[in-house]
Amino acid sequence: MSDFISNGWSLYVIGIVVFGLVYCVGVLLVAARHKVILDPQGNVDKTTGHIWDGDLRELNNPLPMWWVGLFVLTIVFAVAYLAMYPALGNNKGSLGWTSVGQLDKENAKAKAEQDKIFAKFKPMAVEELARDPQAHAIGERLFLNNCAACHGSDAHGAKGFPNLTDNDWLHGGSPEKIIETITEGRRGQMPVMAGAVGGPEDVRNVANYVLSLSGAGHNSIKAELGREKFKQVCSACHGADGKGTQALGAPNLSDKIWLHGFGEDAIMAMVNNGKLNVMPAQKDRLSADQIKLVASYVWSLSHQTKTAQAQ
């Protein structure tokens, strides 16, 4: 890799650029020395003397002055550009311009404009932002650009990615908790519990008991057999009633919302194999002001009635 950033490559680029410029100057000088050609009778011959197909002659007219002028201006512009900008190998140019510096300036200008808009939103609570049309539109755009890849453009999520439009929250749906989740991310882990539960039949019994908690179709005999195992092994996280524990991020098993699949087989797979889910932290991608606006948009998705009434 070091071969591509050595001084030799810089000289190589300089050589190509200078050769191209010198060649253009040479072409212009040769064209300027246009000589009048005389035919054998002493008359001016406006052709090059080349004849094809018996009577096709190539004209030898001088270049128009407007064309020559443009050519000269092009060369002058090229020389000035090479002097001011980093176009000759490692030469930085008299202006000291860099693409990184240009990007930094544009980002700084965009941030200054952004700060003017966000200044209005700083004192507002998340609930107020959710009711503000401008804040809502900015929050939605930020969500689509940064969150929709996992949660979907409609925020309904997918298998393994939570639906943000309902009121089922793993870690809490208050504005503070949503901001915390977006800022720091989340790491949820369901450990492998097959050994603690027992054999395959014990796992199946517990799966049927879990299904019974939400009134889903299940084998009532197996569910009854799995009740005690659930209380011994699973209730520490999910609670004795299966309603989950938001402090741990343990899901509510008594509703009919399933993050990783529904049915006996899906629940057994979860008990046997466990699951690790990661919500990446966004604090390095989004500013605190942006996170607040995203949080207000997410909060509004599950509080549509309140938001609509306030508007």
Which percentage of the chain shows pLDDT scores above 70? 91
* pLDDT at residue 1 in the model: 40
Listing DSSP states for 243-272 in one string gives --BTTTTBPPSSSS--SS--SHHHHHHHHH
DSSP code, position 44: E
- Asked if residue 169 has pLDDT above 90, the reply is yes
Kindly report, residue by residue over 104-122, the tens digit of the pLDDT.
Answer: 999 999 989 988 989 999 9
Kindly tell me the sign of the dihedral angle through the C-alpha atoms of 66, 67, 70, 72.
Answer: negative
Give CA torsion, residues 104, 105, 111, 113, to 10 deg. -160
Among 308, 197, 94, 121, which Cα is nearest to 208's?
Answer: 197
Looking at the DSSP bridge assignments, the partners of residue 158 are: 161
- Alpha-carbon Rg of the chain, whole angstroms? 37
pTM score > 0.85 for this model? no
Residues 6+ apart with CB under 8 A from 284: none
Kindly report, residue by residue over 81-108, the tens digit of the pLDDT.
Answer: 999 998 887 888 899 899 999 999 999 9
Distance of alpha carbon 42 from alpha carbon 57, whole angstroms: 18
In order of start, what are the domains of the chain with their CATH numbers? 2-84 (no CATH), 126-185+280-310 (1.10.760.10), 191-275 (1.10.760.10)
Of 35 and 79, the structure prediction assigns the larger pLDDT to 79
Kindly report, residue by residue over 256-308, the tens digit of the pLDDT.
Answer: 899 999 999 999 999 999 999 999 999 999 999 999 999 999 999 998 755 55
